[in-house]
């Protein structure tokens, strides 16, 4: 009888150890950098689209993450693209909303002025640990109130 009880106890302990280790191994630390970078740009696109589509004045701060391996991610945000890179790996995404990298001065805007301001804006550069501000603001655009998404470094 002791033999059976000890075998059952050892089996239960083995299952507990496997369960604990499964939690450690399940972390995507073995994921390829390209897949991690794709997840990062997709996440930022999704957040930008949600902020832009909120139809309210929203201010959100997002931190540029590192890879699970600890490597630094370099992020470039342009008006039409978001690019993430790290150690030769890259990922790019195109958000479905317009991103503006300039500061609105409160003046009335029209399509040609917005296009000119977008063209003059340099891409935003950030690295892991940097804070990015995503802000949806109601602006006067061609005599209508319209929500626009502005992105800049926070702090």
Q: Are residues 128 and 145 both part of a single domain?
A: yes
In a shared domain, residues 48 and 17 = no
Distance CA 140, CA 135 (A): 16
25 and 38 share one domain: no
Domain count, the chain: 2
pLDDT of 103-150, one tens digit each? 999 888 999 999 999 999 999 999 999 999 999 999 989 888 899 999
At residue 109, the pLDDT reads 93
**Bridge pairing between strands 99-100 and 144-153:** parallel
Query: What pLDDT is stored for residue 4 in this prediction?
Result: 60
pTM over 0.85: no
Same domain, 40 and 102: yes
- Whether residue 90 sits in one domain with residue 54: yes
Q: What is the dihedral sign for C-alpha 111, 100, 95, 46?
A: negative
pLDDT in tens, 68-113: 989 999 999 998 899 999 988 999 999 999 999 999 998 889 999 9
Co-location of 26 and 98 in the same domain: no
Task: Say if residue 135 is in the same domain as residue 68.
Answer: yes
Specify the DSSP class assigned to residue 71. Answer: P
State the residue range of the domain holding 50: 32-153
């Amino acid at each position: 009888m002791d033999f059976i009880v000890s075998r059952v106890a050892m089996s239960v302990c083995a299952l507990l150890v496997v369960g604990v280790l499964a939690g450690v191994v399940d972390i995507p630390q073995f994921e390829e950098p390209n897949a991690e970078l794709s997840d990062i740009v997709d996440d930022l696109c999704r957040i930008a689209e949600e902020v832009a589509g909120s139809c309210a004045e929203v201010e959100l701060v997002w931190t540029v993450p590192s890879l699970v391996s600890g490597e630094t991610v370099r992020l470039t945000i342009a008006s039409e693209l978001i690019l993430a890179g790290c150690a030769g790996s890259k990922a790019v995404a195109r958000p479905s909303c317009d991103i503006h990298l300039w500061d609105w001065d409160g003046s009335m805007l029209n399509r040609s002025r917005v296009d000119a301001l977008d063209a003059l804006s340099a891409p935003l550069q950030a690295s892991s640990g940097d804070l990015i501000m995503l802000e949806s603001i109601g602006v006067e655009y061609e005599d209508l109130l319209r929500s626009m998404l502005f992105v800049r470094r926070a702090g």
